[in-house]
Amino acid sequence: MGNIFNRTNGRAWKLRQRSMKLWPEWTKKLNTKTNPIQIKTPLIKLANSEDELARMKLLVKQKENLGLKIVTKDLHTLSKREWPFNHYGGLLSKNDGFLNPITLQKSLKELLNKKEVQQIPESVISIERRSSQPGQRWGIHLTDGSFHKLDSIIICCSLGAESLLKQLDYYIKQEPILGQAMELELKSDSYDWSNWPAVLISNGINLIPRSNNRLWLGATLEPSLKPNNDLLQELKNLKGNAPCWLLDSKIINQWYGLRGRPVNRPAPILEKLEPGLIVAAGHYRNGILLAPATAEWIGNKINFNGKEYF
């Protein structure tokens, strides 16, 4: 769901806390038999130095209400699979963890269909200002040649937001940060993931157990549009700190994606630029984590005439 321990601004912290309050409501409404939604917890981030551990202890003291606590360097698993690179201890968050993004997307699509929300499978070519009259403030041109008059527009297309806004003389820059991830299959053993967290962050890398002999590993941070295979191999060996059971594993799936990171400003970008023109983009690595609070913020900026859309 994101890494809450990345350095961030006060606004992002408030969005995070609000999202954590809203996620139980979201999972209840989105959960279906075909797409069961479950947030698996907890999340543990291991410290890389005594200084980082000291900052973690200060965070626990300042944010006692967030379900944080310090774990020691002699922490062991019951599964016999050793913790990688645990020389200092770290921080545990009992409220953070893992939510399958594919399952979430499927449930959101089911809800959109149930609410009979019109979905247009075309891309936006351009946006134009039209009138101050309600319902006709904005116009959008789509790739199929169609044109739509709208009262409000929410631009939430990550890196695509920059070019659309530039047409309206707004310059909000983002840079693409490529992230590679992989699914690993471990050599057959009799161990499971008992007593492991849902997410373990070690040296900036996320380890997410998926089944007895499989886990997800990610992600790289590459300021590029093309994946670097050397960085993928560095990811697999945990930058030189991988235990033997991880080094001996086999890559059975790999993928990559681009995250939009705001330039010279903190993430995310949440702005109402004009009446009916709203930007919600640049969440960088915390898009899913901050989704509920972002949606609530957007709803507060738009007049829904009292209608419940969720």
pLDDT at 134: 73
β 43-46/199-202 pair status: parallel
Distance CA 114, CA 309 (A): 11
What's the CATH number of domain 124-173+264-301, 3.30.56.10, 3.40.50.10240, 3.40.50.300, 3.50.50.60?
A: 3.50.50.60
For domain 42-95+175-262, the CATH class is alpha beta
Strand partners, 175: 261
The domain spans of the chain are 14-39+97-117, 42-95+175-262, 124-173+264-301
Q: What is the largest CA-CA distance in the chain?
A: 68
- Strand order across the 269-274 sheet: 153-155, 277-281, 269-274
- What lies within 8 Å, CB to CB, of 14 at 6+ separation is 293
pLDDT at 282: 95
Strand partners, 155: 279
pLDDT at 1: 53
- Strand order across the 124-129 sheet: 124-129, 138-142, 147-150
Q: What backbone torsions phi and psi does residue 238 show, to the nearest 5 degrees?
A: 55, 45
Amino acid residing at 48: N
pLDDT at 103: 92
Distance CA 246, CA 258 (A): 26
User: 31-62: buried (b, 16+ CB within 10 Å) or exposed (e) per residue?
Assistant: eeeebebebebbbbbbbeeeebbeebbebbee
| Tokens standing for residue 66 | 């967030």
Mean pLDDT by 10 residues, the chain (310 residues): 55 89 92 89 93 95 87 72 83 92 92 93 94 84 95 93 95 96 90 88 92 92 95 91 90 95 95 94 93 94 56
Which of 202, 234, 216 minimizes the C-alpha distance to 73? 202
